[in-house]
Amino acid sequence: MLILSIASVSFVFLIGVGLYLRAAPLFNEHSLFSLFSGSEWAPSKNRFGFYPFIMGTLWVTLIAIVVALPLCLLTAIYLTEYAKPGVRKVMLPLMNILAGIPPVIYGVWGIFFVVPIVREYVAPRFTEYSSGYTVLTGGVVLAVMIFPILVSIVSEVLRTIPKELKDASLSLGATRWETIKKVVIKRALPGIVAATVLAVSRAFGETIAVLMVCGNVPVAPSTAFDGGYPLPALIANNFGEMMSIPLYDSALMFAALLLFVIIFLFNLFSRIILNRIEHKYSS
């Protein structure tokens, strides 16, 4: 059992090392800088520019957070500060079910619900033509996917705010909302940041749902109504054919390594903050 436990800790590093070793051949021929800044993706000509994919990932993630964060913050505040226990008892299980829905189902929903709305109603107001398969669509689908994690973690963080603090503010004549704005949110800020970072890293790595609605155009998007090609989609779409072209599999493993490193750091950061909050609360 000791061995199993130690193995599990080292497993995190094993993944990193394993992916690095498989990606290493790529570094012999290309500098890290050229990989990040190159915008041409032509594996058969030995050109591996990751810039469009990195920008694709950033666009969908940013849109997802911009859409989801205000909605989830307000929902979590409502659930912890205003709502009757009955509402909470319904909403939190709903969030659990939402979290359990498989990514491919989100993708199907995106195709039939979000894509037409973007194509028919949203995009025509801003641009001439859009297929509906855009980074905006991907962002909206991702936003719904991160609802559960944001709502449940932010609710938990808000619940750790001492009641005395709120009572003090209320008794000084502040309204409920003023108390929330000036006391609760201020106090919960580190936890909210941690939850957001966690949600960002979830959005970062989501593959299939995004792949299904983003259009997969290997060009860096310049507006929200352009198609995009996030990193995870790049890996998923090309894994089959990579074996025949030299360095192709190294390039895809590099993409996986990139995702791993970023998500590892984000998760580490937010979990340490959240653990500290929980620890303070329980002691």
Partner 1 sequence: MGIRRRKTEETLFKVLMIASCVIVGSSLFLIVGTIVVKGVPYLTWDMVTKAPQGGFYIGKEGGVLNAIIGSLYIAGGATVLGLLVSIPISMYLNIYLKGGSLLSKSAKLAYDVLFGIPSIVYGAFAFSIMIWLGVRASLLGGVIAVTLLIIPIMVRTLDEVIATVPRELKHAALSLGATRWETARVILRQIKPGIYTAVLLSFGRGVGDVASVLFTAGFSDNIPLYVDEPAATLPLAIFFQLSSPIPEVQGRAYASALILTLIILIIVIVSHFLATKHKH
Write out the binding residues for partner 1, residues 59-118 only, by CB under 8 A: 70-72, 74-75, 77-79, 82-83, 87, 90-91, 93-98, 100-109, 111-113
DSSP for the chain, written as a single string: -HHHHHHHHHHHHHHHHHHHHHHHHHHHHS-HHHHHH---EEGGGTEE--HHHHHHHHHHHHHHHHHHHHHHHHHHHIIIIIS-HHHHHHHHHHHHHHHHS-HHHHHHHIIIIIHHHIIIIIHHHHSS---S-SHHHHHHHHHHHHHHHHHHHHHHHHHTS-HHHHHHHHHTT--HHHHIIIIIHHHHHHHHHHHHHHHHHHHHH--HHHHHHSB--SS--SSTTS-B--HHHHHHHHTTTGGGSTTHHHHHHHHHHHHHHHHHHHHHHHHHHHHHHHHHHH-
Considering the complex, what minimum distance in angstroms separates the CB of residue 279 from partner 1?
Answer: 10
What minimum distance in Å lies between the beta carbon of 163 and partner 1? 20
The CB-of-56 to partner 1 minimum distance in angstroms stands at 15
Report the nearest approach of partner 1 to the CB of residue 25 (Å): 13
Question: Between residue 143 and residue 182, which ones bind partner 1 under the rule CB under 8 A?
Answer: 144, 147, 151, 175-178
42: β partners:
47
Quick check: 264 binds partner 1 (CB under 8 A)? yes
By beta-carbon proximity to partner 1, the closer residue of 18 and 25 is 18
Residue number with CB closer to partner 1 (93 or 246): 93
Minimal distance in Å, beta carbon 128 to partner 1? 26
Provide, rounded to whole angstroms, the least separation between the CB of residue 269 and partner 1.
10
Footprint of partner 1 on residues 195-254 (CB under 8 A)? 198, 201-202, 204-208, 212, 232, 235-236, 239-240, 252-253
Q: Looking only at residues 35 through 54 of this chain, which bind partner 1 when binding is defined by CB under 8 A?
A: none
CB of 127 to partner 1, least distance (A): 25
Bridge partners of 105, per DSSP, are: none
Shorter beta-carbon distance to partner 1: residue 40 or 265: 265
CB of 220 or CB of 255, closer to partner 1: 255
**Max Cα distance, the chain (Å):** 72
Query: Is residue 277 near partner 1 by the rule CB under 8 A?
Result: no
Kindly tell me which of 37 and 70 has the beta carbon lying closer to partner 1: 70
Residue closer to partner 1, measured from CB, 45 or 86: 86
Nearer to partner 1, 128 or 235 (CB): 235
Residue 121 interacting with partner 1 (CB under 8 A): no
Distance CA 276, CA 197 (A): 16
Q: Whole-angstrom Cα distance, residue 108 to residue 15?
A: 31
CA 184/CA 13 separation, integer angstroms: 38
* Footprint of partner 1 on 18-37 (CB under 8 A): 18-19, 22
